Structure 1
């Protein structure tokens, strides 16, 4: 049982670290690499390479984060990267693509966190040794790869059926010292409000976009040049605003409706409003159910005055809820701008397990900081945070419930135990797939990197 758990845990670490690996590999080599490291190709997996500098970057990042590597890092880390590349190669074969709008939202959230961490754009660029546009570009690419890996895994695994009898048998077979500890979890209700941007600010954004359109139509300036200079989607701005061929479902609905109705390459659309801001779009090319476009994105700025108005309004609302003039759920239904939560009394859904329970570290940091100090039933003062679309919003939260950490029981934690059984089955499927894929994939490992006890011995084929 212990050997089985060890295998399962190691595989879980590999799979869960896919997004982390992608993001860490996006960090500049100069931040982590030692001066005496000469870069070289150390592994080849299919048509993908693994560089020595990739391994060094990840190894030193683990040290910085205080994370223990179970084994020789020069064996463990390359194997982690190689496993990731197997999944990415499968994505190519299956033509799996992720939603670009979802990736943009994640990039915006990361960038907001970076700016908070470094306190200024200039400091961020200095420490990371990249321009802001380069940081956004690398984040966009790495997050896209991480999400692609997850989509491949989900497709390979499919739906896993688990019976109550299997869950009970799993629990009964666990040694006492292996019964999982269920960490403290919380249920949180939230009311969010987008600070109202002034009409003057929106008019100014639209005026600028109209001016760009006039410059393109008159031949004064190419669309791509204007995108590089002014677009606030910095990832595509570097490419002259071009986002590549996208399916309808990969774009924001309002953007897709306009882009797919455009007929003449080079023409510029009217102004389009999406959840990300305001765009003008230029058609590059259509291919079947895919379209390639350029765009210029501008985001109206929220003034400090508008932000203060929103926080004051929510503080007043919180007081009314505390005075029991109405319930938090009623206020969420009629006053919250969060479409995902307002019809469920403001209860936040956990996107990772389909429940409404969160471990503290899984909450947005601004919310976790507040929730930690609340008693069950308490309502917070207004706070500001970056939402999942990269927008600055104001919010109040209520601690609906707190379930203290404890050893799992079959009666209280059936869902958690069922999830463990599903995870075990999932990891077994993926483990077997990796073993099979190793046999079908060309792998070359340089001398000096082969003397390892790999988790998957099939890398060495000669």
Structure 2
């Protein structure tokens, strides 16, 4: 143990045996509850994790004041090993995640001011707390991956695992569907486009003249629900995280007091304002407006799709060909209109996933369709927030069933892989406990720990 670590360890031990770690004008403001190696776990660390869990709707399997410090202790074991093995995460990864979490918290709690009140910390302190948390979490994940390594399973091993599962442990696979889609965007009149552009130019003029703030206008008028509540603020973002048209504008802004010209993306029309640049990342505000679609243009698009569907049913061409050459959904047309499930990297969706990841309108239409059937045309809001018209074809339906090795091999393989990984990590933790100094405040020992080896006789 080097000199610095020894001093740090000795300080932690003095604080733990004293029972109180920090005083301010004779008032206790924090307390050391665990020491793992030469690292202290403070009561405030536990409280911060408990507050985060509340907003993430996380439920603990047991007393949070037992579960959380043990989780933090396990994290300390991984971080110590990561330091030994020189496992590190990049600052860019950490910053990106912190900005996303800050934005999410502010959105959930209501504002930056309410977030400061909730945590009883300044905005800067909250950001630093999240930075440390994110860096630790990402480092732990990398360390776990290194410990687990590349688990390779043969089909025989998966079959053997499945054959030994009790009947009541065989997973039930909900009904899954595979769906193809063709979309058409209703035509928008030039008058409506000009109305939207004119409105955005007016907002920009008002900000540039100092009549009002950009954030105030964004809160009232922006049609981007993800940023409007934050005054249009997007948070620090890399160029690759933005659509090219948007990135080209915000990364070329230089004056924080000026507003960009009106520009178009696949989401609609925008104006933007620079907040700050940090290296290859930029923080910005923007206002999004979408032109309104006239009902006659929606009806025209629905009629065209109805005609296309009728021609497919008459075998004039296939749904695959129509999706490839006619559909305006660029995310699916190169795959014959087949929707992809981003969670499973397959084309199969459970009905709940189809509603949540794609569209409730699509799920509602598909629910009672037969395999091979083509729907009537309907309207929906696409992933870009635009109203579009669509027809869908139910390519396949796999009814809910208990998993079988033939039908659900990949899912069962993933189960076995996860089990093997968990076994490796549990074994590593137990061995690491044996060789790590651990001291727990007596008031925090009365727990049914997942790993009993923390308290050594």
TM-score normalized by the length of structure 2:
0.65
- What does residue 369 of structure 1 align with? 364
- What does residue 408 of structure 2 align with? 413
1:400 Cα shift? 0.9
Instruction: Measure the CA separation in 1 of the matches of 2:402 and 2:416.
Output: 17
Mind listing any 5+ residue stretches in structure 1 that lack a counterpart? 1-42, 63-68, 112-127
- What does residue 224 of structure 2 align with? 233
Q: Does 1:290 align with 2:285?
A: no
1:235 Cα shift? 4.9
| Contact kept? 1:44, 1:443, Cα under 8 Å | no
Instruction: Measure the CA separation in 2 of the matches of 1:425 and 1:328.
Output: 43
Distance change in 2, residues 1:179/1:235 (3 Å): closer
| Contact kept? 1:315, 1:381, Cα under 8 Å | yes
Instruction: Measure the CA separation in 1 of the matches of 2:261 and 2:422.
Output: 49
| Contact kept? 1:268, 1:282, Cα under 8 Å | yes
Q: 1:307 aligns with which of 293, 298, 305?
A: 298
Aligned residues: 383
1:191 Cα shift? 1.4
- What does residue 353 of structure 1 align with? 344
Alpha-carbon displacement from aligned partner over 1:373-426 (angstroms, at most 9, x marks no partner): 111111111233333333333221111112234443434432222222233345
Alignment map for 1:29-40 (pairs within 5 Å): none
Q: Does 1:340 align with 2:331?
A: yes
Distance change in 2, residues 1:366/1:218 (3 Å): closer
| Contact kept? 1:180, 1:407, Cα under 8 Å | yes
| Contact kept? 2:182, 2:390, Cα under 8 Å | yes
Alignment map for 1:249-264 (pairs within 5 Å): 249-264=240-255
Quote the RMSD (CA, aligned, Å).
5.2
Alignment map for 1:208-219 (pairs within 5 Å): 208-219=199-210
Instruction: Measure the CA separation in 2 of the matches of 1:184 and 1:450.
Output: 46
Instruction: Measure the CA separation in 2 of the matches of 1:150 and 1:197.
Output: 47
Q: Does 1:381 align with 2:380?
A: no
| Contact kept? 1:99, 1:250, Cα under 8 Å | no
Instruction: Measure the CA separation in 1 of the matches of 2:247 and 2:337.
Output: 30
Describe the SS at the equivalent of 1:270: coil
Q: Does 1:324 align with 2:315?
A: yes
Instruction: Measure the CA separation in 2 of the matches of 1:457 and 1:391.
Output: 55
Instruction: Measure the CA separation in 2 of the matches of 1:259 and 1:215.
Output: 19
Instruction: Measure the CA separation in 2 of the matches of 1:166 and 1:277.
Output: 52
| Contact kept? 1:350, 1:358, Cα under 8 Å | yes
422-431 or 361-370, larger mean C-alpha shift: 422-431
Instruction: Measure the CA separation in 2 of the matches of 1:332 and 1:460.
Output: 63
Instruction: Measure the CA separation in 2 of the matches of 1:197 and 1:437.
Output: 64
Describe the SS at the equivalent of 1:244: coil
Q: Does 1:393 align with 2:388?
A: yes
Instruction: Measure the CA separation in 1 of the matches of 2:402 and 2:296.
Output: 49
| Contact kept? 1:79, 1:454, Cα under 8 Å | no
Mind listing any 5+ residue stretches in structure 2 that lack a counterpart? 1-41, 83-87, 119-125
- What does residue 269 of structure 2 align with? 278
Alpha-carbon displacement from aligned partner over 1:95-115 (angstroms, at most 9, x marks no partner): 435979x989x99xxx9xxxx
Instruction: Measure the CA separation in 2 of the matches of 1:456 and 1:244.
Output: 40
364-373 or 160-169, larger mean C-alpha shift: 160-169
Q: 1:188 aligns with which of 179, 187, 208?
A: 179
Distance change in 2, residues 1:371/1:217 (3 Å): closer
Instruction: Measure the CA separation in 2 of the matches of 1:222 and 1:359.
Output: 45
Instruction: Measure the CA separation in 1 of the matches of 2:135 and 2:328.
Output: 30
Instruction: Measure the CA separation in 2 of the matches of 1:393 and 1:458.
Output: 59
Describe the SS at the equivalent of 2:196: helix
Describe the SS at the equivalent of 2:309: helix
Describe the SS at the equivalent of 2:269: strand
335-344 or 390-399, larger mean C-alpha shift: 390-399
Alpha-carbon displacement from aligned partner over 1:268-322 (angstroms, at most 9, x marks no partner): 2222222322111222332211222222222222333333333333233222222
1:329 Cα shift? 0.7
1:79 Cα shift? 8.7
Distance change in 2, residues 1:434/1:220 (3 Å): farther
Q: 1:162 aligns with which of 152, 177, 188?
A: 152
- What does residue 6 of structure 1 align with? none
Distance change in 2, residues 1:361/1:217 (3 Å): closer
Describe the SS at the equivalent of 2:370: coil
- What does residue 30 of structure 1 align with? none
Instruction: Measure the CA separation in 2 of the matches of 1:226 and 1:451.
Output: 54
